Structure 1
Amino acid sequence: MRTLTRSLLLLTTLGLAGPAAFAQKTYLHCGRLLDVRSGRLLTQQTLVVEKDRIVAVQAGYTAAPTAQDKVVNLENKTVLPGLIDCHVHLESQQSRSSFTEQFTLGPADVAYRAQGYALTTLRAGFTTVRDCGGSGVNTALRNAVNRGLVPGPRIYSAGTAISATGGHMDEGDGLSAELMDKLGHPSNIANGPDQCRQAVREQFKRGADLIKIASTGGVLDLSPNGSGPQYTEEEIRAVVETARDLGMPVACHAHGPEGIKRALRAGVSSIDHGSLLDDEGIALFKRSKAWYVPTLIAGKSVADTARRHPGYFPAVVAGKAISIGTVMQGTFGRAYKAGVRVAFGTDAGVYRHGQNALEFGYMTEAGMPPLEAIRAATLNAAQLLGDPANLGALEAGKYADVVAVDSDPLQDISTLTRPRFVMKAGVVYKSE
């Protein structure tokens, strides 16, 4: 009996047990419920949750029929689907020591830290994320969350992102020749179509859900060029075709216009960042039906840090942060108004985890209506992840992923930065 009691106390502490997990059904009384599909704000609704699913959405406040059922009073809140961030990095968080941590942290250090970032993200209202590249700890964390070992959002993992030699995800960038030689040829470094195919198969073997590549340089690496193309269209096409054979979508980090266009012509599922997108690229977006994942908060964060804190970044990084980070919001506004499909993503880890919802404010500042910004983080993101049957709306049959905030986000989008209640798959992880 003592062992059982200790086990239940541990599970409750982790957010994996407790009344919400063991009740026969949970009845959420929602004062206002945002139907993201129709755009209507419904009043006095009841969400009926059984195990990990929504089983009914009912008008009025339904009383719990048995003593085993549970009622959650959200009658003074606005309730909406659990939010989805399609670009995070749960293994890390940008700091002054980020460029030396590869020499000071081991996999266990990264794993413990990632668990904390995952819980922070979940309690911020993001019940599902797409992790766009790490060391492989991200895939292990996904497995641990799925098995109920640790609390966190539902994770779609890209494993380790694929890069050309000297490209954005080449960990040897900026190292001495001696250290480069010791590093060898990591399995995520691929040049030429054949190596690109092999790199995709390697990530598939290691359990990735999707493939992430970089078709251009980046901001936070130590290479001098953050926007130039780093893969040929033939190489990208080899990645896309191999991934498609294995049932995996391809996310593409890209800042510069030529790298964006090569990736779109080759058939990637999403362009993440898209900072210097031009009119030809916008037309290709619309023809290809690829998704644009803008990550505006990341651009704002690195540009502001580089300006306000000289010396925080190495000089080569600071220059790229200002030149690229300052144009991303304007690019997004043009792309949205031109009809490019947008899925919500923030590049969490470049800024502090848990602040993901600030992205909504930057999106609306650029001209996207609040409802469309919320749809980008619900319906659209669910489509990008390939699971609209289970994610993205408060509808019977979908996962019971629920967020409640104080006010109407269609009138005050900033309320999404202050979630008061978070449920993922029928389990409550935050209740204020």
Structure 2
Amino acid sequence: MKQLYAAGLMLAMTGAHAATQTVDCGRLLDVKSGAWRERVSIVVENGVVKSVGPMTQAPGNIDLSRHACLPGLIDMHVHLTGETQPVVDSYRDRLTADTSDLAYRSIKYAQRTLLAGFTTVRDLGAQDGLNVSLKRAIAAGDVPGPRMYTAGKSIATTGGHADPTNNLSHFLGEKIGTPGPEQGVIDSPEQGRQAVRARYKEGADLIKITATGGVLSQAANGHNSQYTEDELKAIVDTAKDYGFRVAAHAHGAEGMKRALRAGVDSIEHGTLMDDETIALFKKTGHWYVPTISAGRYVADKAKIDGYYSALVQPKAAAIGPQLQATFARAHKAGVKIAFGTDAGVFPHGENAKEFGYMVEAGMSPVEAIRAATVHAANLLDQSKRLGSVEAGFAADIIAVEGDPLRDVKLLEQVKFVMKEGVVYKKP
């Protein structure tokens, strides 16, 4: 495994890939039709798919003739600059870890994600511009990792989920000061507009707001509404001026309704959505990103005394177990769903477990795969470049042994990963 990481690192650092190469696949999933294409060759030129046709098996081709190939997977909700840990370690990090320490750690999280078959991610919030810097390092070939679309710093209200000063001592609070729009904390429509512009300056690709309380923030309520409708409208309208989509973290129904009415593009988690919320999803055509994996993980960890703080533990125990059932209701009602996990809340690299949870809740394997390919690409506004293996698309290709349409959990055992024509993992 160490050799594999090293090889991937060298490839990424040099940007090395053959100008033209051919991948022979025993079968290739056409994600749009849901059908397998048998014995195909994918010609890749300068990181882009040039053609897909009958298998040639010429000398020098990449031999995946015993494998099933799919497009690189897309996770629409990750946090690559951090990872779950017990509360005592989390508090220690807040006191002792520098931004540079967190930056170096994020390299292994990016590597794990890529080697798990996720060639594109949407990173929805980090402090100090870390996710923006990681995105740039990956794009430059300095660090191996998935293609990133980043929100920069999540935007919160004072005391809300993503206010970085929640529950600090008076001493620390006085030293840090009161965060404002530049730090992603707002309390008026005008400050909301300022915060969006600060994310633009920061180098973000989209806006993330925390429309309700959250599970892991050091605050008592995990689902209350935390914005007025005029604040939400100011943020969304300003975001559209800058060409940003807006993702809204939300657990409580009222916060979701306000966010959907304001015009956000996606609701993340959506735990306590009610029938009225589902009707609003259907009316607006906005997307739901479920993050079942995070719900399952925090529910399990809430049973361990001391893993979470006294504020977080009851929220994790109450909200976490409900996500999968909410997903089942939303899917049955026909809400548009894009794949997302909230990786970082659980260990990076385990993203594909989400497929199994989605299928357990009633979604077919092919629809779960579409959620992580064509549907996710649509939400990213990249439907002509990502999410499918066809001419003109980025050469993001993964492979597994067996048939993931029969056993979707095979996607937890990806054997081959190519991103933009660079091979990072081979059988």
What is the TM-score with the length of structure 2 in the denominator?
0.95
Q: Which residue of the other structure, out of 295, 300, 310, is the alignment partner of 2:296? A: 300
Q: Which residue of the other structure, out of 303, 312, 318, is the alignment partner of 1:323? A: 318
1:49 to 2:39 alignment:
no
Check whether the contact 1:15–1:429 (CA below 8 A) recurs between aligned residues: no
Q: Which residue of the other structure, out of 120, 126, 139, is the alignment partner of 1:128? A: 120
CA 228–105 in structure 1, closer or farther in 2 if over 3 Å, else same:
same
Tell me the alpha carbon deviations over residues 283-308 of structure 1, each in whole angstroms, 9 at most, x when there is no partner: 1011111110000000000001111x
How far apart are residue 18 of structure 1 and its match? 11
1:83 to 2:73 alignment:
yes
How far apart are residue 103 of structure 1 and its match? 1.4
Q: Which residue of 2 aligns with 1:406?
A: 401
Inter-partner Cα distance in structure 1 for 2:198 and 2:391: 38
Inter-partner Cα distance in structure 1 for 2:15 and 2:164: 44
What is the TM-score with the length of structure 1 in the denominator?
0.94
Which secondary structure state, in structure 2, belongs to the residue aligned with residue 230 of structure 1? coil
- Dislocated runs of 4+, deviation >4 Å: 10-13, 17-20
Q: Which residue of 2 aligns with 1:6?
A: none
How far apart are residue 177 of structure 1 and its match? 2.0
How far apart are residue 315 of structure 1 and its match? 1.8
Which secondary structure state, in structure 1, belongs to the residue aligned with residue 311 of structure 2? helix
Q: How many residues of Structure 1 are paired with residues of Structure 2 in the alignment? A: 417
Check whether the contact 1:12–1:18 (CA below 8 A) recurs between aligned residues: no
Q: Which residue of 2 aligns with 1:38?
A: 33
Identity level (%): 53
Q: Which residue of the other structure, out of 165, 170, 177, is the alignment partner of 2:163? A: 170
Tell me the alpha carbon deviations over residues 21-75 of structure 1, each in whole angstroms, 9 at most, x when there is no partner: 44342111100110000110111011111111000000233536xxxxx411101
How far apart are residue 13 of structure 1 and its match? 5.6
CA 349–13 in structure 1, closer or farther in 2 if over 3 Å, else same:
closer
Q: Which residue of the other structure, out of 216, 220, 223, is the alignment partner of 2:219? A: 223
1:146 to 2:139 alignment:
yes
Return 5+ residue gaps in structure 1 as ranges: 1-9, 65-69
How far apart are residue 255 of structure 1 and its match? 0.3
Q: Which residue of the other structure, out of 155, 177, 187, is the alignment partner of 1:184? A: 177
Which secondary structure state, in structure 1, belongs to the residue aligned with residue 105 of structure 2? helix
How far apart are residue 78 of structure 1 and its match? 0.7
Q: Which residue of 2 aligns with 1:16?
A: 11
Q: Which residue of 1 aligns with 2:346?
A: 351
Check whether the contact 2:40–2:55 (CA below 8 A) recurs between aligned residues: yes
Inter-partner Cα distance in structure 2 for 1:155 and 1:345: 14
CA 11–322 in structure 1, closer or farther in 2 if over 3 Å, else same:
closer
Q: Which residue of the other structure, out of 209, 220, 236, is the alignment partner of 1:240? A: 236
Residues 244-323 of structure 1: matches in 2 within 5 Å? Answer: 244-307=240-303, 309-323=304-318
Look up the equivalent residue of 1:263 and give its one-letter code. A
Which secondary structure state, in structure 1, belongs to the residue aligned with residue 110 of structure 2? helix
Q: Which residue of the other structure, out of 116, 119, 126, is the alignment partner of 2:111? A: 119
Q: Which residue of the other structure, out of 357, 362, 372, is the alignment partner of 2:367? A: 372
How far apart are residue 176 of structure 1 and its match? 1.4
Look up the equivalent residue of 2:72 and give its one-letter code. G
Inter-partner Cα distance in structure 2 for 1:330 and 1:205: 39
Return 5+ residue gaps in structure 2 as ranges: none
Inter-partner Cα distance in structure 2 for 1:17 and 1:263: 39
CA 17–298 in structure 1, closer or farther in 2 if over 3 Å, else same:
closer
Q: Which residue of the other structure, out of 59, 84, 95, is the alignment partner of 2:85? A: 95
CA 209–31 in structure 1, closer or farther in 2 if over 3 Å, else same:
same
Inter-partner Cα distance in structure 2 for 1:257 and 1:406: 41
Tell me the alpha carbon deviations over residues 188-209 of structure 1, each in whole angstroms, 9 at most, x when there is no partner: 1111100000000001011000
